[in-house]
Amino acid sequence: MAKDMTLLWGSGSPPCWRVQIALEEKNLQGYNQKLLSFEKMEHKSKEVMDMNPRGQLPAFKHKTYVLNESCAACIYLESQFKSQGNQLIPDCPAEQALMYQHTLESLTLNQKMADVIYYTWKVPEAERHDSAVKRNRETLSTELKLWEGYLQASGPFLAGKNFSLADVVVYPTIAYVFRFGLCEERYPKLAAYYNSLKSRPSIKTTWPPTWLETQGSDMLKDL
């Protein structure tokens, strides 16, 4: 089955990592994959553009079906291979509701994180403002406190007692903010969640290779 799948991905990208974790959770190892470099602009190559006209990663294909939105790919994999590997959509209606809510809500978290981390990369120098930087950081802090509260209310996972699709989708973003220096003491529930899942096989196996080779940043240490 996995031989019918192709994943083009970039190391450290939360959307790419989501799909990798989902594939591992569903025991779909052995898929065709290619690690591309953002720095070398390989995500704009013809190979990627043919699969994803947006020129973004991941680019994922199963048979002739192309899914380039990471959340869609993860939901698809659970739907198509529900009897294989770990169950990622809970049977319990309450947990299922939380799972869907947090899975889709993660897109807001990811965007607010990107607004801070990639501000100088996305915004031309002449258009940058200290007030915007301050506002973006405050917005991200408020968002992270919201997720801190979610974990306090549910736990140990985002939808309750079982690892679910919400964790597949959200964990890479949580790992990313700690990679950029988020203070563990200031966000203890998020830190405990981040550290407790590091050794989960699907996460450990797919840990971004560039993270093993390079140091992170302290950009978010004062957030």
Please determine, for residue 19, whether its predicted confidence score (pLDDT) is greater than 80.
yes
Pair type for strands 32-36 and 5-10:
parallel
- Give residue-wise pLDDT tens across range 176-190: 999 999 999 999 999
- Rounded CA-CA distance 34/11 in Å is 10
Dihedral (C-alpha) 130, 220, 40, 16: value to the nearest 10 degrees?
Answer: -120
What the chain holds in terms of domains, given with CATH numbers, is 2-80 (3.40.30.10), 93-213 (1.20.1050.10)
Average pLDDT, the chain: 96
- Rounded CA-CA distance 13/11 in Å is 6
| pLDDT band (50, 70, 90) for residue 154 | confident
Please determine, for residue 153, whether its predicted confidence score (pLDDT) is greater than 90.
no
Please determine, for residue 96, whether its predicted confidence score (pLDDT) is greater than 90.
yes
Please determine, for residue 47, whether its predicted confidence score (pLDDT) is greater than 80.
yes
This prediction's pTM: 0.96
| pLDDT band (50, 70, 90) for residue 2 | confident
- Give residue-wise pLDDT tens across range 27-46: 999 999 999 999 999 999 99
